[in-house]
Structure 1
Amino acid sequence: MAIQGFTGVGSGLDINNIVKAMVNAESAPKTAQLNRLERDTTAKFSGLGQFRSAISDFQSAIKDLNDPALFEKRSATSAKQDIFTAKADGTATAGNFSVQVFNLAQTSKLSLQGLDNATDPVGTGTLTISVGGEALDISIGENDSSLAGIRDAINAAGKNSGLSATIVSDPSGAGGARLVLSSDKAGNGNDISVSSSSTTGNLGQLDFTPPDPTLIDYEPAAYDPANPRAARVISYARDANLAIDGIPLSSASNTVEDAIAGVTLTLKSAQSAEDLQNASTISLGVAEDRAGVKGSLKKFVDAYNKMMGTIGSLTKVTSVGGDDGEPLAAALVGDASVRSFSSAIRNELGSTQGGTNGLRLLADLGISTQRDGTLKIDDQRMDTVLEENFEELSGFLTGDSGILSRLEAKTDPYTQGGGILESRTKALQNTLSSVDGQREQLTRRIDKLEAQLFSQFNAMDALVAQLSGTSDYLSGALSNLPGVVRQDRR
């Protein structure tokens, strides 16, 4: 309610400012108390939110590392990734292998007989295109009888079977326009062949059966300048051929699975003729995924240090000015939840557990605590442990008694639904709601007080005005009595 009033007519007092001062004096202590409570509560609310977020990030790093499957992963490394790449799953056995890649798997591609152009009618009837043991019958009607129409009909019918057609035209006219057919099926025996039965015209111009590739060592016939429109093989379908530790292998795909149990090879290119002539091999190493485990350990340490940095900023006390300056305290200085959490986590990080090969503390793994409470990795020490104690490492970190499971048990009560921080957050929300309620009550009380004061001061002013009028009347009456000499007439 806005303060209203005026200068007293009878009393001459500044009623408006008097009431304003009295109202402010009454409301100021409570207002300051509520403002202070709201400010402190809001700061704690925000601080607890940051604290909970930092714990959640740390929990994510714990969960990623606390996975036995991480320690079952295997890495596969090719010495020449331009020849082949490799990956391994948890079933792969560690070892070293020698690989040779003689040729990649190929798909079939051929060029049919060249015709004068792509728009003249070729004929109608049925075109049968075979890829390996599968045949596709394509009906060619009058609207499809040109080379362009046949191309479109092949693409429509073959889109689900990996068969496609394009037209290549010789600008000089010597080679004419010709259909080029491609298949996505690699491996021996998957060559394309074409036959037809004509209703009108001559679809038979497009018939073509490639020569037996095994008789010519899969080498396509060279282009014949004397017959530039002749049908020819561009590439034969064939298996990839390779050898592992001297054992010859073939694969219908350039992705070779389970030639080595649990290992997948992806062939990129064949070795050079010189390498093959010299029987050069490419090494393939399969080992535990130590790099992946070390990367997860680094993420764990980074997440812990980030969390401790957040806790440090939320519990920091900053000096201001000289000795008389009141220090600035962060939102969660002295907070019992933060102290309890930090103490529990540090105790777990420093606790020991049974080990048969020297892994009893995080420090044995190369993770040590610094003076500022953060963690630091000794790369050399960690690499040695990963090399010599990899199998024990999983038991040390994971499982019911592993350090990561114990850390999860300490962090879960703080972040889970209905947990410590959620309960405290709800309590702070209730406090903020009560501040709003108290402000409304204060406003109503002050408005009532203001109205009461104005009423009292205005009544007083009216009474003073009345008494002043009576005084003036009496003075005038007395001055007119006989024998009374008025001073102003002397």
Structure 2
Amino acid sequence: MPSVSSSITTALGIGSGIDTGSLVTSLVAAVRDPKEQVITNRQSLTTARISALASASSSLDTFADALSSLLSGTGYAGTPASNDPSIANVSLLPGGVPKGLPAQLEVRQLATARTLASTPVSGATAATVVGEGELTLTVGGQSATITIGSANNSYTGLAAAINGAGLGVTASVVTDTQGTRLVMKGATGAANDFSLTSVSGDDLADFAWAGTDSATMVSMAAPQNAIIKIDGVEQHYASNTVDTAIANLRIDLNKAAPGTTVTLATSEPTTTMRDLMVEFVEAYNTLMKGLNTATATGADSTSSGVLNGEASIRDMRRQLATMTSTSLTATGSYKTLSDLGIATNRDGTLKLDTDILDKAIAADPSAVVQMLNPAVSSTTNPGLAGMMDAVRDKIQQKDGSLAIATSKYKDLAEKLTEQLEKLDTQMTNYEAQLTTVYSKMETRLTALKATQSYLEQQIEIWNNSDS
């Protein structure tokens, strides 16, 4: 039979070793953890949704920017060509696409350079002396002194000194059956005429020329500018290579042909346009598959996409889906992507019928190119890149569904953070309350323990008295 003292001890828990600090912590955790888990789970989902919306917008930007960059390149603008390369040939210059083609070119005159030749000296060689002294070489407003001394007194030495003057005049020594002579040639263009005047040395004076031929120095060609007409406008150039008449286009003048018109035009980039359609469908499908994954409906929340049920993404998919039926031009044989064989699958991705595309390109390549990549885009003929930019701008507009959804989730994220902070405050207060309660309980238990000790002593005395 239990004693009175043991019953009191059991009832009060005295001596049970209860850690009130741990008890308080456990009780707070039991209240806090479920609430905190709900908030943190919602925080994780909200953060994931904000990230997914940003990713969708970024993917759309990447797609639109890549398309614009691709179509602005020369590969999708065609290759410039001349219908008579023997008169003039053309090629692309880096930095952009030529504008203003086709153009009509007439080469009225080629640019030429001043060419001088000394009288051949029979029996002479490149090492034959020419005489010591000085000559002055003048090109435009610049002059240089040509000095011939004992170290360079030869045809070869004279040519080297002229070349070393750095004024754009080249000299060479020619030896043939007629003998040896000095040949000099300047740069093309009327402004690049030159003269060689004598300063000292009688023998060296034989190589002087100042506009008048002599018995020892003769002009073989006079300098002149190239003269061309482009679409009837006359233009003059010092060189036969013209790279400023039409932006981003180099024109090489090969032959003067007054009265003959050469057409400079751009060939249709039919092969690259076919490749463009294939690449466009592939890139579009990559974007759409990403959206499909984000909005997928699973058996439960863990297997569903993070944006499942999100209206802004449904709107984004709807806007993208209109691209196949949107008119890219108001004129021509083909007006929409569907006319070129692009159709929409049930999951929103695209499929391309290359047979239809090839027939369209074969039938009217100019119409296909003009529809997809017009030389000058407009509201009625935006082209593929212009349409993509318009769709992107509509999806990403400030008051659009995507922006509203992003703002909504950011606001929710802030509220959840506030809820977590509020829970922290509540649990801190709750912990303080429990600590106070158990502190008072400890005080009472201490008093009860003193009473228990007193009672135990009295009982012991009673028991001894009975014995």
User: What TM-score does the superposition give when structure 2 sets the normalisation length?
Assistant: 0.63
Q: Which amino acid aligns with 1:428?
A: Y
Determine the structure 2 residue equivalent to 1:18: 23
Query: Does 1:448 pair with 2:429?
Result: yes
Determine the structure 1 residue equivalent to 2:288: 308
* Shift in CA distance, 350/89, structure 1 to aligned 2, threshold 3 Å: closer
- Following superposition of structure 1 onto structure 2, how do residues 53-452 of structure 1 map, counting pairs within 5 Å? 53-60=58-65, 75-76=80-81, 84-87=89-92, 89-93=98-102, 128-131=136-139, 134-137=140-143, 175=157, 178-180=161-163, 181-184=165-168, 186-187=187-188, 190-195=192-197, 208-209=208-209, 252-256=238-242, 264-266=250-252, 286-291=265-270, 297=277, 300-316=280-296, 327-350=302-325, 358-370=333-345, 373-379=348-354, 381-386=356-361, 388-390=363-365, 392-393=367-368, 399-401=378-380, 408-452=389-433
Stretch of structure 1 that moved more, 402-411 or 32-41 = 402-411
Query: Does 1:474 pair with 2:449?
Result: no
Indicate if the aligned counterparts of 2:133 and 2:199 stay in contact, CA closer than 8 A: no
Indicate if the aligned counterparts of 1:74 and 1:288 stay in contact, CA closer than 8 A: yes
What 5-or-longer segments of structure 1 have no aligned partner?
1-7, 116-120, 141-145, 151-166, 219-235, 243-249, 271-282, 320-324
Q: Distance in 2 between matches of 1:217 and 1:381?
A: 63
Q: Which amino acid aligns with 2:208?
A: F
Q: Which amino acid aligns with 2:324?
A: L
Q: Which amino acid aligns with 1:414?
A: I
Cα deviation for residue 217 of structure 1 reads 5.2
* Shift in CA distance, 416/194, structure 1 to aligned 2, threshold 3 Å: farther
Determine the structure 1 residue equivalent to 2:50: 45
Q: Distance in 2 between matches of 1:326 and 1:434?
A: 22
**Percent sequence identity over aligned pairs:** 24
Q: Distance in 2 between matches of 1:15 and 1:425?
A: 47
Indicate if the aligned counterparts of 1:10 and 1:468 stay in contact, CA closer than 8 A: no
Indicate if the aligned counterparts of 1:92 and 1:261 stay in contact, CA closer than 8 A: no
The superposition leaves residues 120-151 of structure 1 with CA deviations (integer Å, 9 ceiling, x where unpaired) of x978xxx75432xx23356x8xxxxx96xx9x
* Shift in CA distance, 424/239, structure 1 to aligned 2, threshold 3 Å: same
Cα deviation for residue 208 of structure 1 reads 3.5
Q: Distance in 2 between matches of 1:261 and 1:352?
A: 31
Provide the aligned C-alpha RMSD in A: 5.5
Cα deviation for residue 16 of structure 1 reads 2.5
Q: Give the secondary-structure state (helix, strand or coil) at the position aligned to 1:193.
A: strand
Q: Distance in 2 between matches of 1:466 and 1:110?
A: 131
Q: How many residues align?
A: 392
If asked which structure has higher relative contact order (CA below 8 Å, sep 6+), I would say: 1
* Shift in CA distance, 312/28, structure 1 to aligned 2, threshold 3 Å: same
Indicate if the aligned counterparts of 1:130 and 1:193 stay in contact, CA closer than 8 A: yes
* Shift in CA distance, 260/420, structure 1 to aligned 2, threshold 3 Å: closer
Determine the structure 2 residue equivalent to 1:486: 464
Q: Distance in 2 between matches of 1:393 and 1:59?
A: 20
Indicate if the aligned counterparts of 2:324 and 2:343 stay in contact, CA closer than 8 A: no
